[in-house]
Amino acid sequence: MKLTDYVFQSARHYWRGHLGLLFGTFLAATILTGSLLVGDSVRASLERVAALRLGKVEGGVLGGDHWFTEALARKSNAAPVIIATGAASAANGKVRVNGAQVLGVDASFWKLSTSAKNLVFDKTAVVINEPLSRKLGVKAGDTILVRLERPSAISRDAPLSGSTNQDVSLRRTVAAVISAEDFGAFQLTASQVPPDSVFVNLADLQTQLEMDGRVNALLHPQFNALRAHLEEHRTLADFALRLKRIDGVKKEWEISTSRVFLERSLAAKLGDFKGAYGVLTYLVNGITSKQGGTPYSMVTAKGQGKDDEITITQWLADDQKLAVGDELEVKYFVVGLGRDLKQQSAKFKVAAILPMDHPQVTKAWTPEFPGVSDVDNCRDWEPGIPMDMKAIRDKDEEYWDEHKGTPKGFITLAAGQKLWANRFGNLTAIRLPNEGQTPEAKANVLALRLQLADIGLVPRDFKHDAGAAAKGSVDFGGLFIGLSMFLIAAALVFAALLFLFTLERRAAQIGLLLAVGWTRSMVRRAWLLEAGVIAVAGVLLGVIGGIFYTQSALHGLSAIWTGATQGLPLVFSASFETIFNAALATLIVVLLTLGWASRKLFKLQARDLLAGGWSDDLAPAKQVKPTKLPLILAGVALVLMVVGFVVKNPEAVAGMFFGSGMLILIAGLLLLRRWMRHDSGSLARSLWQIGTRNITRRPSRSLAVIGMMAGGIFLVVAVNAFRMSAGDATARDSGTGGFALIGESSLPVYEDLNVKAGWDAFGLDEKLMPQARVVPFRVRDGDDASCLNLNRAQKPVLVAADPAKLASTFAFASGAWENLGQPSRLPAASETLALQAIPAIADQATAMWGLGKGVGDTMDYQDSAGNTFQVKIVGLLAGSVLQGKMIISEKDFLSKYPDVAGYRFFLIDAKPEQAAEVSAHLTRQLEQRGLALEPAKQRLELFLSVQNTYIGIFTVLGGLGVLLGTAGIGVLIARHVLERRGELGLMQALGFRVGALRSMIMGEHSVLLVLGVILGVITASLAVLPQLIERGGGLPIGFLGELIGAVLGFGLGVCAVAVSTAVRGRLTDAIRRE
C-alpha cells in the first residue's frame, strides 16, 4: 500500500463528510474563476472595440495644426485623411450633435477597415456611422448639416492671424449609414464609446476647408514601414514652407511660411546655411513723431547695426517731414496669453532715408498676412487685431494701392526680435544667397536639411497604443475578486469549518498514525492530500460554475451595473491560462486555509487524540485577567471619529469612520471572548443557564458565529459609507469647485467671454453675462483618463487655465492650484529632465485608477515641435468634476503648444437660480462653436456613479457572502448539536422534555446570532454615520435593512432547521451508543 492509496481510500470513504469542503471549494473556485474571467471578458471586449476602431491601421501621423501634403501620404503608401471636429445636425435643425468626428476620406481609407468594404460617394453626399444616425434620427437619403472650422495656417491666437470665426457649413445627403465593421467605429482615441462620425469625400472637404491637396493625418497598415520611409518623401510644402526667388539688391532665395512666423525648430536649421539671414516683418499700429503719425504700417527687421536706429522710406519721411536724426516712436501689439494683445512702443532715431525706387524698398519683405495681403483696400483689412479704421487716411489707401505691404521702415533683426518675437516664432522669412540653382533643386536641398519630426510629424504606433489602452484602466478581474472577497472568505470559512469537523471526528486516526510512527508532517501531508483530492474535484466543478458566474456578472454589467462599464459592449472570453491560474490559486488558497485552520489539531499529542478527539472543551475556564486592549481600541476609535468630524475630505471622513467601526467591532469581539473565557463560578439553576454555559463552552466556535455575522453585516453596510454624493455643489471646496456649469465646445472659442468684446462677438446678453464668470481651458486632445473610460489612458487630455482664476476652488487631496503657478524658466544644461517637468494637477481618481500615478510621478508628452517633455503631478484634486484631465498652467501650455488656439473646455460660475438661464443663453449664442453645457453637479454625479456602482456590486456580492456565512452557521450548529446528542440523551433520561431541550439549544444559538447582528449593526452604523447625518447620503438604507432582516431571519430559520434535524429521533439511544 502506498500513501496515495491511503489518501484516495480515505477521500472515498469519507466523501459525505467532505461535501462541505467540496461545496466551499466549488464556491471559491466559481467566484475566483468567474471574477478573473470577467476581467478577461472586459479586456477582450476592449480589444474588440480597439480592433474595430483601428481596423487594419497600425501606424500613422497626426499633424494636428500642421497640415501636410496629400502627396506625402500617397508616396508613403498611406491613406491621406482629414480629421476634424464639428457639429452635425439633422436638416430640420431639431437635433444637433456636438463634438462629432468629421473625417475627409477616400478609397484608400476604406481599404483599412476590418471589412475593407469600399464606400463610394460623391461630393454631394456623406456617410455617417450608426451612433450619429441614431442620435440625429436620420437614415440614408436624408440630409444633414455639418459645421466645422476652416483651419488656419497660423494659430488663431497669433497676431495678424486674420479673422477668427471662419466656419464651414456642409449640407449633404446621407449616402449610407455604416456599421462598426465597415469603419463606423473608427477613431484614434482610446475609448469604448464609439464616436459620432461623418465621413466626407476627401476632395470635397479639402475644397471646403480651402486646403486643396493637404491633409492633417495619414494612416498606414504597417507602422514599421511607415517609420522607415516617411521622411524619404518630405518636401518643403509639408513644412508649410515656400521658396521664392528674390531679385532685389542681390539675387536671393526667400523661405517663408503660410503660418506667417517660421517655427523656431525650422528657422534654426535653415538659418545654418551659409549666407543665410533672418527677416522679421511686423504690422505696427502706428509710427509717430513730433510732426505727425502714420497708422498701420509694415516694419521689417533684418541685418545688424545700431538697435536704436531706423531706416525709413522716403514716403514715410515725406508723410511726417522726417529727416535723418529725427526721433520717432513705433507702436505695436504684443501677444500675451491667448489672444491678449498689449500695445507697446519703442523709440528709434532715423538713420537713413531710402528713396522709393531703392531696390530694398519692396513688398517682398512682407509675408502674406491673412486678411491683409489678400484685400484691395486697407479698410477691408481683417488682420485679427483691433483696428481703428478711422485712423486710415486716403493717402494710406493710396500707399496700399501702389506699394501694398512694402515696409516703411527697417530696423535691426535684434531690435525687431526684441519687440515682436512671440511664441509662434521670431522670423517671418529666411533669405539665402542664390547661386543659380533651379527652384526644385534648391527646395530639395532645403527639405533634406529638415525633418518632419521637427514639426511634430512623427509616426505613431496606434496599434501598440491601442493594445496598451485595451489592458484597461480598471482590472475588472481584480475588482471583482475584491468585491467578492467576503463571499470568497465565507466560502473558505465554510469549507474550513466542515473540514475541521471531519478532522475532529477522525482525531483518533491522527493519534494512531502518530503512534505507529508517522511523523507529524507525514500525517499532515496525508490529510492535506486527502483534502486536496476533494478540493481538486471542487475546483473542477468551480471552473464550470465560474463560467456561469461570468455570464451572470456580464449580464449584470450590461443591465443593472452599467455604470461600471460605461457603454462597453461586453463579450464573453475565457482563456485556458486564466482558468488554470484561477483553479490553481483556489486550490492553493483552500489548502492553505485548511492547513491554517487545522494547525492546532496537528500539534496535539497522540495520547490526547487517541483519548477521544479534542476540543476547546478541554481548555479549562480561566480567571481572565482584565485586559486593556478593548478599551485602547475603543479609545482609538473615538479619536478617529473626532478627527472624522474635523476632516473635510469626504473619502478621508469615510475612512476614519470605517476604521473606527472596525476597531469597535474588534473590541466587541474581544470583550465577548473575555466573557466566554470567564468562569462565573455561579451555580446554573435553570435550563437557560445551562444553555448559556454551552455558549461559553466552545468559545472559538461561538466567537466564529458572532464574528461571521457581525463582520459580514459590518462589511456590507460599512462599505456603503464610501458611496459618494455630490453634496453641496455650490461649495467652493466641493467636487464641482462651486462652479454651476461645465462644458465643452466642438470648435475653439477664441474670445474672452468675461469681457464686452467677447459678448459682442457672440451677441451675449450684457445684463446676464456680468452675473456669470467663465474660466476657459485650452485643450490638447488626448485620451479621456476619467473613470468613464475603461481603456488605460496613454496620453491623457491636457487642459490649461490660468491658475489664478481657479484659486480657492475644489478640495485637494494633495497640493494646491498655486503649485501650477511656478514661473517657467529655461533649464540649465546640468538640470535633469525631471527638473524641467511641467507641473500638473490631476483628479485623484484619474491619477490613481486611470493612470496608476501619484504626486511626483511624471508622464511623457510631445510638444508641437515633436520634442518630448514631461508633465509632473504636483497636486491631486479630491473627487472632482475635473476627472480625466491633466491640468497645467496656460503659460506652460502655450510654451509647448503655441499653435493650439482658443478654448474648448469651460467652467462657469453662476448663481444657482441663474444657472439654467446662463446655460441656455450661452448654448444658444455659441451654437456655431458647438458649445454644450451641463450642470457641474450632474457631471460630478456621473463620475461618482461609477464608484457607487462598484459599491453596489460589493453590497450584492457581500450580501450573498453573509447569507452563505449564515448557512455555514447552520451547519456549525447542527454539528455542534450532533456532538452533544449523548448529553442531550442523558438530559432526556433525567426527565427533560425534548421540546425543552430543543428550546434550550435554539435559545443558545439565537443569542449568538442576535449578538452578532447587534454588534454588526452598531459598528456598521458608526461607519456610515456621516452618510446618515447627511440624510442618507445615497445609502441604500432600505436594501441594507432588508439584508440585515433577511440575514437574521435566515439565520434563525437555519438554526431552527439545524436544531430540529439534529435533535430528531431517540436521544436516549445516543447514551447507549456511548
Instruction: Specify the residue, 438 or 521, whose C-beta has the smaller distance to other proteins.
Output: 521
Inter-residue contact 427 to 270 (CB < 8 Å): no
Q: Helices 629-646 and 650-677, interaxial angle, to 10°?
A: 160
Instruction: Specify the residue, 112 or 528, whose C-beta has the smaller distance to other proteins.
Output: 528
End-to-end CA distance of the chain: 33
Cα 729 to chain centroid, rounded: 22
559 binds other proteins (CB under 8 A): no
Cite the DSSP H helix spans in 647-686: 650-677
Grid cell of 790 as nine digits: 475603461
Instruction: Specify the residue, 604 or 969, whose C-beta has the smaller distance to other proteins.
Output: 604
Binding other proteins (rule: CB under 8 A), the pick from 260, 606, 742, 1048 is: 606
The CB-of-514 to other proteins minimum distance in angstroms stands at 7
Grid cell of 552 as nine digits: 451572470
Grid cell of 856 as nine digits: 511626483
CA-based Rg of the chain, rounded to a whole angstrom? 39
The CA distance from 1006 to 1063, in Å, is: 16
The CB-of-528 to other proteins minimum distance in angstroms stands at 16
The CB-of-3 to other proteins minimum distance in angstroms stands at 6
Instruction: Specify the residue, 356 or 515, whose C-beta has the smaller distance to other proteins.
Output: 515
Backbone φ and ψ for 736, nearest 5 degrees, come out as -90, -10
The CA distance from 689 to 293, in Å, is: 111
Instruction: Specify the residue, 6 or 277, whose C-beta has the smaller distance to other proteins.
Output: 6
Q: Is 612 left (phi over 0), alpha (psi -120 to 50) or beta?
A: left
Under DSSP, the state recorded for 899 is T
The candidate with the shortest Cα–Cα distance to 17, out of 524, 530, 492, 501, is: 501
| Grid-cell match 496620453, residue found | 795
The CB-of-502 to other proteins minimum distance in angstroms stands at 12
533 binds other proteins (CB under 8 A): no
138-146, 503-511, 906-914, 1046-1054 -> range binding other proteins (CB under 8 A) = 503-511
Grid cell of 863 as nine digits: 510638444
The CB-of-486 to other proteins minimum distance in angstroms stands at 35
The CA distance from 123 to 134, in Å, is: 23
680 binds other proteins (CB under 8 A): no
Backbone φ and ψ for 771, nearest 5 degrees, come out as -80, -10
Grid cell of 389 as nine digits: 479704421
273 binds other proteins (CB under 8 A): no
Instruction: Specify the residue, 517 or 991, whose C-beta has the smaller distance to other proteins.
Output: 517
Cβ-proximal residues to 719 (8 Å cutoff; 6+ apart), any chain = 658, 951, 954, 955, 958
141-149, 463-471, 600-608, 1026-1034 -> range binding other proteins (CB under 8 A) = 600-608
2 binds other proteins (CB under 8 A): yes
1-9, 164-172, 670-678, 1026-1034 -> range binding other proteins (CB under 8 A) = 1-9
442-450, 606-614, 692-700, 1062-1070 -> range binding other proteins (CB under 8 A) = 606-614
The CB-of-19 to other proteins minimum distance in angstroms stands at 16
163-171, 240-248, 603-611, 971-979 -> range binding other proteins (CB under 8 A) = 603-611
- Coil, strand or helix at 291: coil
CA angle centred on 929, ends 889 and 778, rounded to 5°: 10
The CB-of-619 to other proteins minimum distance in angstroms stands at 9
Q: Which helix (H) or strand (E) segment is 61 a member of?
A: strand 59-62
620 binds other proteins (CB under 8 A): yes
Instruction: Specify the residue, 11 or 579, whose C-beta has the smaller distance to other proteins.
Output: 11
Count CB atoms within 10 A of the CB of residue 562: 14
607 binds other proteins (CB under 8 A): yes
Instruction: Specify the residue, 356 or 522, whose C-beta has the smaller distance to other proteins.
Output: 522
Q: Which helix (H) or strand (E) segment is 432 a member of?
A: strand 429-433
114-122, 295-303, 510-518, 883-891 -> range binding other proteins (CB under 8 A) = 510-518
Instruction: Specify the residue, 507 or 820, whose C-beta has the smaller distance to other proteins.
Output: 507
Binding other proteins (rule: CB under 8 A), the pick from 224, 605, 627, 680 is: 605
Q: Residue-wise over 515-534: b if at least 16 C-beta within 10 A, else e?
A: eeebeeeebbebbbbbbbbb
Q: List 281's β-bridge partners, or say none.
A: 300
What number of chain residues touch other proteins (CB under 8 A)?
Answer: 28
Inter-residue contact 366 to 373 (CB < 8 Å): yes
Binding mask 511-530 for other proteins (x = CB under 8 A): xxxxxxxxxx-x--------
The candidate with the shortest Cα–Cα distance to 1070, out of 1002, 986, 991, is: 986
The candidate with the shortest Cα–Cα distance to 581, out of 591, 592, 589, 570, is: 589
The CB-of-521 to other proteins minimum distance in angstroms stands at 8
219-227, 375-383, 504-512, 1066-1074 -> range binding other proteins (CB under 8 A) = 504-512
Inter-residue contact 52 to 587 (CB < 8 Å): no
The CB-of-517 to other proteins minimum distance in angstroms stands at 2
Binding other proteins (rule: CB under 8 A), the pick from 453, 610, 671, 1037 is: 610
Instruction: Specify the residue, 529 or 1010, whose C-beta has the smaller distance to other proteins.
Output: 529
The CB-of-6 to other proteins minimum distance in angstroms stands at 7
The candidate with the shortest Cα–Cα distance to 107, out of 219, 24, 259, 15, is: 219
Count CB atoms within 10 A of the CB of residue 18: 25
The candidate with the shortest Cα–Cα distance to 152, out of 932, 902, 893, 926, is: 902
Give strand ranges (E) for 902-1060.
903-909, 931-935
Binding mask 6-35 for other proteins (x = CB under 8 A): x--xx-xxx---------------------
The CB-of-5 to other proteins minimum distance in angstroms stands at 7
Binding other proteins (rule: CB under 8 A), the pick from 165, 314, 509, 1060 is: 509
Q: List 176's β-bridge partners, or say none.
A: 127
Instruction: Specify the residue, 14 or 812, whose C-beta has the smaller distance to other proteins.
Output: 14
The candidate with the shortest Cα–Cα distance to 732, out of 820, 622, 834, 808, is: 808
Instruction: Specify the residue, 1 or 683, whose C-beta has the smaller distance to other proteins.
Output: 1
Instruction: Specify the residue, 516 or 829, whose C-beta has the smaller distance to other proteins.
Output: 516
Instruction: Specify the residue, 516 or 683, whose C-beta has the smaller distance to other proteins.
Output: 516
The candidate with the shortest Cα–Cα distance to 2, out of 677, 753, 526, is: 526
Q: Which helix (H) or strand (E) segment is 177 a member of?
A: strand 167-178
Instruction: Specify the residue, 437 or 605, whose C-beta has the smaller distance to other proteins.
Output: 605
Binding other proteins (rule: CB under 8 A), the pick from 3, 592, 629, 755 is: 3
The CB-of-531 to other proteins minimum distance in angstroms stands at 14
Instruction: Specify the residue, 5 or 212, whose C-beta has the smaller distance to other proteins.
Output: 5
The CB-of-1057 to other proteins minimum distance in angstroms stands at 29
- Burial of 882 by CB count in 10 Å (0-12 exposed, 13-18 middle, 19+ buried)? buried
The CB-of-594 to other proteins minimum distance in angstroms stands at 19
| Grid-cell match 485586559, residue found | 627
The CB-of-7 to other proteins minimum distance in angstroms stands at 10
Instruction: Specify the residue, 363 or 607, whose C-beta has the smaller distance to other proteins.
Output: 607
The CB-of-513 to other proteins minimum distance in angstroms stands at 7
The CB-of-1073 to other proteins minimum distance in angstroms stands at 14
1 binds other proteins (CB under 8 A): yes
The CB-of-2 to other proteins minimum distance in angstroms stands at 8
User: Footprint of other proteins on this chain (CB under 8 A)?
Assistant: 1-3, 5-6, 9-10, 12-14, 508-509, 511-520, 522, 605-607, 610, 620
